[in-house]
Structure 1
C-alpha cells in the first residue's frame, strides 16, 4: 500500500472517529481542519533518530526551544526531539514543523508509531486537538554536529576529511571545531 493510500485510509478513520464523537454528544469543531493539517498525518519513515539519542545522552544539557521543552515535560526529552526529527517541514516557513495531535490517539496513528502508544496518549491528553508548531532545534543540531566533528578530530581526521565526511566546506569545519571547544565540557553522559 502506498503512502497516499495509507493517508486516505487514515483520513477515513479520523472522519469515522469524528462522526462517533458527534453522535456521543461531544462538541464539534465549528470549522473543518485545513488541508495542510490533514496532509501532515504523513510523517517520514525514519529508522534512526540520532538527534533524539544525542539529546537524551551526551546532549542532555543543551537547551531546547520553549515549545519543545513543554512537550518534553509530558513525554520526555528524547521523544520530544524524536517528534521534531520525524515531522516534515510544511508551508512557507520551512524551518517550522506543524503537527496535529488528535484528542483520541488510535493505536495505529503515526505519532503512536513514532514515540509509542503510551507517550502518544499522554501527548493527546495534554495537547488534544492542537496543532503544535515544532521548531527545528537549531542549537541542538549545531551541538550535535560540533560534537561529531570533535569526535572525528579526536580519532585523527584532518579538516579536509571531516569536510568530505559531513558534506561541508573546510571553513565550516573550522567553525564547528571552535563550537566543539565550547560544547566539549558541557557534553557529557547523563548522571
Structure 2
C-alpha cells in the first residue's frame, strides 16, 4: 500500500502503537472523549494495575492489550492526538474518487454528510494540489 494512504502518526500515538499495534491504538483513541477544550487531544489514565476484567481499558482493548498498556505506561496520563486527520484524509480521498466516477457534487455531499460548498472546497484543493505536483 502506498505511504500516501497511510498518514504518519504523531509521536503521542506512535508510542502507544509500539505497545499494542496500530489498529488497537486507533481503536482506543477513537473510543476516548475529547480532553477539555483541546479538541485535538484525548486523555486516558493508565492505572498501575488492572483491578478487574470490567475495567474500561479491558472492555475496549481486551485483557492482553490492556495489560500491555499497564506494563508500558503504569500510572501515567496519556494525551495522544485524536487522529481525526486520518478519517478526514480518507473522506477527502473518497470525495475525489466519487467525483472521478461521475457523481455530482450534490450526490457526493449527501453521501459523505457534508455541505455542497464544503465538497466543492475539498475538490478545488485537490485540483490545486495536482497542478503544483
TM-score, normalised relative to structure 2: 0.78
Structure 2 equivalent of residue 132 of structure 1: 78
Structure 1 equivalent of residue 88 of structure 2: 142
State the distance in 2 between where 1:75 and 1:92 align: 28
State the distance in 2 between where 1:160 and 1:175 align: 13
Computed over aligned residues only, the root mean square deviation of the Cα atoms, in angstroms, reads: 2.5
Shift of 1:126: 0.3
SS, match of residue 94 in structure 2 = helix
Structure index of larger Rg: 1
Which structure shows the higher helix fraction?
2
CA gap 1:112/1:100 in 2 versus in 1, 3 angstroms: same
TM-score, normalised relative to structure 1: 0.57
State the distance in 2 between where 1:62 and 1:143 align: 8
State the distance in 1 between where 2:16 and 2:127 align: 27
CA deviations 1:152-187 (Å, max 9, x no partner) are 3355421111112222222321343444997xxxxx
CA deviations 1:68-115 (Å, max 9, x no partner) are 111001100011111111001132223321111111123221111112
Q: Show structure 1 runs of 4+ deviating over 4 A.
A: 178-182
